[in-house]
Amino acid sequence: MPGPAIPIGRSVHVRVPATTANLGPGFDTLGLALSLYDEVDATVSATPGVRVEVHGVGADGAVPTDASNLVASVVLDVLARKGVEVPGLDLVARNAIPHGRGLGSSGAAIVAGIMVAKGLLEGVAELGPAELLAIATELEGHPDNVAPALFGGLTIAWLEPRGPQHKKLNVHRGVSPVVFVPAHTVPTKLARSLQPAQVPHEDAVFNVSRSALLIAALIQSPELLLSATEDKLHQDYRASAMPDTSALVRLLRGSGFPAVVSGAGPSVLVLCERPSDRLLAADLVAAQSAVAWQPLMLAVDFKGATVTPMGAQSAAS
C-alpha cells in the first residue's frame, strides 16, 4: 500500500534565525538566536525532481540548486523518515546569513529543511519539538546552534542517553548584540581541529565559573558581561587560524566591550549592555582595526524558526 500523501501544490514559508554559539565560555553548550534570517518557500510539485532558486547569499552559484542542496536534502530525509515521498519539490531560498562566518548558516539550513518538512507534513505526520531537535542535532553533529535556531532566545543545550535536550531562557532587554563580519571565511572543521583533547584543570574550573556567571549576566545583570564572557577553553587555541579575529577581540575587550568569537569564527560578537554601546564599538573598530569588518546591529530573536502555510492546499500549521 502507498504511504500517506502530501497534496500537490501544498506550499509553506519558513523563516530561520542566524545563531551565535559558545558566547565565550559556553563551549558547545550555549547559543543565542539573532535577528538575521534565511527564508524558504517550498511547494510540492507534480513535476518530478527538485529545483532550488537561490537569492542573496549563495546566489553566485556557491549553493547547489538541485537535490544536493542542503535544505532540499534535509526536507527529503525528514519526509523519508516519516514514510512519505513527494513527486517533486520546488524551493525558493532567500539567504541573508553569511556562510562560513560563525553565524550558524549550516545549522539554519538544516533547521529550514526540517521546518519545511514539518509544514508539508501537517495533517499527515507529526513532528514534535523533541524530535525536531533530535533530527537537527543528528544532522548537524551538535545542538548548540540548532537549538536556538529552532526555539529562539538563549538556549542551554546538552546530551543525554534519551537524546539532546535544551532549555530556553529569555534575555535581559538591555542586551544588544553587534556582530562584526569579515570578508574571509574560516572552515568550522579547521577551527575544531585546533581544539586540544585535554585542557588544564584550572582552565576547566575557570570556564565553569564564567559560564554560570554568563547565564546570570544575560538574563539579569548585563553589567557583568565583560567578566562573564572570559574564556580559556577554545578561543586562544583557535587564534592561529584567525589572527585578525583574535586581534579584534583583544582590541574590543581592551576597551571594555564584551567581545567573543562568534561560533567557530571568524566573525566577532559583542554582547553590549545597552543599544548605544553598539555604535561606540563600531566606531572603535572602524577607527582602529587594520581589517575591514561589516557591523551587523542585531537583536535577540525570541521566536526561533517559524513555518506558515501558503496557498489553498496548505493545512494550518
Q: How far apart are the C-alpha atoms of 183 and 293, rounded to whole Å?
A: 7
Which string of DSSP letters, residue by residue, matches 19-39?
A: EEE-TTT-TTTEEEEEEEEEE
Strands (E) across 46-193 are located at 49-56, 88-95, 154-160, 163-169, 176-181
DSSP 239: G
**Helix or strand or coil: residue 138?**
helix
Q: How far apart are the C-alpha atoms of 144 and 189, rounded to whole Å?
A: 15
- Residue 275, C-beta contacts closer than 8 angstroms, at least 6 positions apart: 174, 176
- Binding region for ATP: 98-108
**Helix or strand or coil: residue 305?**
coil
- Binding region: 98-108
Q: How far apart are the C-alpha atoms of 153 and 276, rounded to whole Å?
A: 21
